[in-house]
């Protein structure tokens, strides 16, 4: 592998990998928020009262 190939790979890797990591974190975060929201809605629907504040 030539120096040019190594350099290009390193540049692409240093840009793409953090983007992928950030995107994955964003997806996980939004999924977690949706799950919490759905659980709260389900709880309200069943018990007609707000979710206790100590529930994570």
Query: Residue 34 domain-assigned?
Result: yes
Cβ-in-10-Å burial (0-12, 13-18, 19+) of 16 comes to exposed
Query: Residue 7 domain-assigned?
Result: no
Query: Residue 28 domain-assigned?
Result: yes
How many domains would you assign to the chain? 1
Give the torsion sign (CA, 14, 15, 19, 22): positive
Query: Residue 8 domain-assigned?
Result: no
Q: What is the pLDDT of residues 32-50, one digit of tens each?
A: 999 989 888 887 776 665 5
Query: Residue 39 domain-assigned?
Result: yes
Query: Residue 30 domain-assigned?
Result: yes
Residue 38 sits in which domain range?
18-46
Q: What is the pLDDT of residues 5-32, one digit of tens each?
A: 999 999 999 999 989 989 998 999 999 9
């Amino acid at each position: 592998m030539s120096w040019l190939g190594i350099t290009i790979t390193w540049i692409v890797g240093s840009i793409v990998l953090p983007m992928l990591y950030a995107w994955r974190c964003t997806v996980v975060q939004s999924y977690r928020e949706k799950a919490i929201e759905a659980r709260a809605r389900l709880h309200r629907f069943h018990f007609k009262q707000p979710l206790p504040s100590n529930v994570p």
